[in-house]
Amino acid sequence: MLQNFYDNPKTEKEIMLTKNVISSMAAMVFMLTCFSPSLHAQVIQPFAPVDYTHDWQPFAPADLSDYGDGPDAKEGYFFRYERLYWSAAKPKATALGLNDGEFYAFAGTTTVLRQTNTVRTAVPDAGFGWGNRYEIGYMLDETGWFTSILGGYQQDQSYFFGDGGTGAADGIDDVSIVFADPGDVMTGFLDRNADGFDDDLNGNGIFGRSGEDTDADGVPDAAAAIDLVDATTLPMLFDFVTVRSRVFMNGVEVNKSWRLDPHYRDAQAEVFAGIRFLSIRDRFNVHAIGATIDSPLSDMFWASQVENNIIGPQIGFHWSKQTGRWKISTEGRAVAGVNFANAELDGVIATNHVIAGANFGQLMSTTPFSHRRNFRTITPVGELRANATYQLTDSIAFTGGWTGLYVGDISRGSQMMNYVLPEPNIVSHNPTESFFANGFNFGIDINR
């Protein structure tokens, strides 16, 4: 049951299926537009020219003219596919536990342990991941339409902390995750020597809930009132903690474009305007386990996820210059976006808890939790691309380059958990931060 919210395999399969359907639809539209000699506007209005038949000659020699105005600007339908290899920015340094948390607890045999969070940063690296980008449209008489689809990008990182339970019993080599405990649910009785009796911490001969030692042999042998002074605050330690962070990006945009007159040295320029949707899903999973008496909160699992759905009007430009078979180009976009963020938190805490048992919080219990919260923020988006293209034939070219994507304010999964007992929840405010992704892209152009 815990696996459902920790890895969420059904959701991932559904997402991959959606991506495959989008990719197949884009390829089908491209095949129809390029290979149907009688395709006319009424088939795919309003984003197609009226009474226009594409003169498809994929293997005609490349136009390498260096005379007059240089190679003619392409007209008709076009298509581009690019494979992406991008790095997504890591979230802000965040403690795995209550920010600036400090907690005093009994640990080992005679030690009062001052606990602070062991893991001070949620994800240490800005790793790379793969994705896809599709672009399809047309240009005729210096104007046209096009749509661009970003799909399938995923960055996946896992990190491991702790000694796996091989360290000393005082927890020095273990992982500390501090929670706020306003209700003192981590107060309990100890049995460090595993003799079946509560430990007599204050040395008055009464062993917590187990009775009184009347003959000084160290074993309670008579009933007595519970010695509440023997109750102590228990540690929040784990032997082994696994952290997994994933970032998913998908999006679509639709634009109207206008081609400007050739300018300096016959370079081509276009401007466009439209609407763009961008989804950035940030998922943060934690699995904390412990097998010692210093791990009363084990085992613990949670998955914190934020779906950032950004939509808004977009403007942009495209500039290119061809010399022989080589063409260089640059492209920019700016979006005045609104982010409709959906935060989710699912998990369970203290799955190994024994009710009224020694070495466990007396008011604590195994607690599943599930919370949802929505936020809305103004989120600008900017994107810059730079490509170099090699013209193989008149219609077919290979392309490669760099893309940088900046997003003003998004929420990250690692920032959303409110570390409080007995039931963690989502923070009441919306912690946002800027997001930057950049990397390489390479693919193929058809009539672009």
* Six-digit token string for 260: 């400007």
Task: Give the phi and the psi of residue 323 in degrees, each rounded to 5.
Answer: -135, 110
Predicted TM-score (pTM) of the model is 0.81
For residue 19, the one-letter residue type is K
In sequence order, what are the beta bridge partners of 432?
Answer: 411
Q: Give the pLDDT confidence of 38-72 residue by residue, as tens digits.
A: 344 334 445 566 666 667 777 777 776 655 556 77
Q: Give the pLDDT confidence of 362-386 residue by residue, as tens digits.
A: 889 999 999 999 999 999 999 999 9
Residue 197 lies in a domain: no
Residue 292 lies in a domain: yes
- Residues of the chain with pLDDT > 70: what percent? 77
Among the residue ranges 91-105, 172-186, 278-292, the one predicted with the least confidence is 91-105
Between 17 and 244, the more confident residue is: 244
Q: Give the pLDDT confidence of 205-229 residue by residue, as tens digits.
A: 999 899 998 988 888 999 999 988 8
From the centroid of its chain, how far is CA 96?
16
**What pLDDT, on the 0 to 100 scale, is given for residue 104?**
67
**What pLDDT, on the 0 to 100 scale, is given for residue 406?**
97
**What pLDDT, on the 0 to 100 scale, is given for residue 101?**
66
Element (H, E) at 248: strand 240-259
| Rg for the chain, CA atoms, rounded | 31
For residue 329, the one-letter residue type is S
Task: Give the phi and the psi of residue 114 in degrees, each rounded to 5.
Answer: -95, 115
Among the residue ranges 161-165, 166-170, 195-199, 228-232, the one predicted with the least confidence is 166-170
DSSP annotation string for 51-105: T------TTSPP----STT-SPPP-EEEEEEEEEEEEEPPPPP--SSSTT--EEE
Contact yes or no for 208/226 (Cβ under 8 A): yes
CA-CA distances (angstroms) from residue 86 to 148, 247, 385, 409? 17, 11, 13, 19
Residue 402 lies in a domain: yes
Domain of 42 in residue numbering reads as 2-94+130-157+241-357+369-446
Residue 222 lies in a domain: no
Closest C-alpha to 248, from 333, 156, 159, 158: 156
Q: What is the number of domains present in the chain?
A: 1
- Residues of the chain with pLDDT > 90: what percent? 45
Between 99 and 21, the more confident residue is: 99
Residue 205 lies in a domain: no
Contact yes or no for 389/331 (Cβ under 8 A): no
Collapsed DSSP state (helix, strand, coil) of residue 418: strand
pLDDT at 18 over 50: no
Q: How far apart are CA 265 and CA 263, in angstroms?
A: 6
CATH number, residue 379 = 2.40.128.100
Q: Give the pLDDT confidence of 324-360 residue by residue, as tens digits.
A: 899 999 999 999 999 999 999 999 999 988 888 888 8
Element (H, E) at 140: strand 128-140
Residue 104 lies in a domain: no
pLDDT at 28 over 70: no
**What pLDDT, on the 0 to 100 scale, is given for residue 368?**
96
Contact yes or no for 419/180 (Cβ under 8 A): yes
DSSP annotation string for 334-391: EEEEEEEEEEEEEEEE-TT--TT-TTS-TT---EEEEEEEEEEEEEEEEEEEEEEEEE
Element (H, E) at 303: strand 300-323
Residue 311 lies in a domain: yes
Give the number of other Cβ atoms within 10 Å of residue 72's Cβ: 11
ω before 431 within 30° of 0 (cis)? no
Q: Give the pLDDT confidence of 251-281 residue by residue, as tens digits.
A: 999 999 999 877 656 788 999 999 999 999 9
Determine the average pLDDT of the residues in 84-107. Answer: 80
**What pLDDT, on the 0 to 100 scale, is given for residue 155?**
92
pLDDT at 435 over 90: yes
Collapsed DSSP state (helix, strand, coil) of residue 32: helix
- Cα dihedral angle (264, 267, 272, 276), rounded to 10 degrees? -130
* Six-digit token string for 396: 């077919």
Q: How far apart are CA 18 and CA 25, in angstroms?
A: 11
Query: What is the per-residue burial (b if ≥16 Cβ within 10 Å, else e) of 154-163?
Result: bbebeeebbe
**What pLDDT, on the 0 to 100 scale, is given for residue 54?**
67
CA-CA distances (angstroms) from residue 260 to 17, 141, 319? 40, 11, 10
Query: What is the per-residue burial (b if ≥16 Cβ within 10 Å, else e) of 54-64?
Result: bebeeeeebee
In sequence order, what are the beta bridge partners of 402?
Answer: 386, 440
**What pLDDT, on the 0 to 100 scale, is given for residue 326?**
92
DSSP annotation string for 76-91: EEEEEEEEEEEEEPPP
Residue 164 lies in a domain: no
